[in-house]
Amino acid sequence: MKLFGKSEWKRIAYGWALCLTAVGAVMTGGLLFSTLLGIGCVLGAKEFISMAQAKGYKPSVRIVYGMTIAFIVLASLPKFPGVHLPETFPLSHYPIVLTVGLCISFFRLVLRSERPPATIADIASTILGFLYVGWMPSHLILLRNIGPAGSESITNPLQQPGLAYLWVSLFIIWATDVMAYYFGKKLGKTPLHPEISPKKTVEGALGGLLSAVFWATVVVYFSDNFLFPSRPFQGNLWQAPIMGFVVSIAAQLGDLAESLIKRDAGMKDSSNMIPGHGGFLDRGDSLLFAGPICFYWIKIVVLGIL
């Protein structure tokens, strides 16, 4: 008797390939992480544009792609070879890039030669596109590169504080996703938001939330006491469960947000680019909200430098 069918083996193989690639990029950091994340964001932009077009909207494809790449490049600039910029440079210049993106979205669509002329929905979907798949996930690069103010630069990527910060974010997200699915399957009875995602349950959401709180505490404890000599969380273990709670809620909202977009577009998956897994937005929807929330939590609560 076969343990798995051909399609299931393909799903498992692609799942492991994605996981190992992501882990390797996270551990390495620098331009490798930025490049792979950027590729994922561009492919996510392609999926978003397809969903918008399925609704009859006509976002500017060039602006969505261009602004997505712009945010990824800006977040990565301090790590470019031969570029000597402070870690704070990308964040301080985000308002400029965002303002330019908003302006050119209006100007480009106002001057579009197609008939009928651009609509509010065309402009709105253009702006939402690069915010959703460009600006939001670019915070993961900022998170990977962040460090305590005034601390010496650490060249070993496995000892950089940003690795600990990104790991705790990923563990919270993975714990939320996996345990929400498990608890939902085993105990789920109360629909969470059936109009958007019929299979999600309150019991599953609570199970994911509790698991995230647990794993956030574990990762913070081991990071400070065993894995990172710089003690990236500064021994404040009490902050970890609160962080797990906050970031887990953001992750679940990110999942629901993508489900809302797909349902409105009449699509089951954002694409079929990853066999057995749907699209890149399907795999990364939780990250899109949880990543920025985790970044600002680290900046404000853990490091107090914002």
Is the pLDDT at 222 greater than 80? The verdict is yes
Across the range 202-231, mean pLDDT stands at 96
Is the pLDDT at 269 greater than 60? The verdict is yes
**237-260 per-residue burial string, b: 16 or more CB within 10 A, e: under 16:** eebbbebbbbbbbbbbbbbbbbbe
At residue 286's C-alpha, the angle toward residues 275 and 128, to 5°, is 95
Q: Give pLDDT tens digits for 77-94.
A: 999 988 889 888 999 999
Q: Give pLDDT tens digits for 90-116.
A: 999 999 999 999 999 988 888 877 777
pLDDT at 190: 93
With a CB cutoff of 8 Å and minimum separation 6, the contacts of 275 are 7, 10, 11, 14
Distance from CA of residue 254 to its chain's centroid? 9
Is the pLDDT at 211 greater than 90? The verdict is yes
Is the pLDDT at 5 greater than 90? The verdict is no
Distance separating alpha carbons of residues 236 and 224, to the nearest angstrom: 9
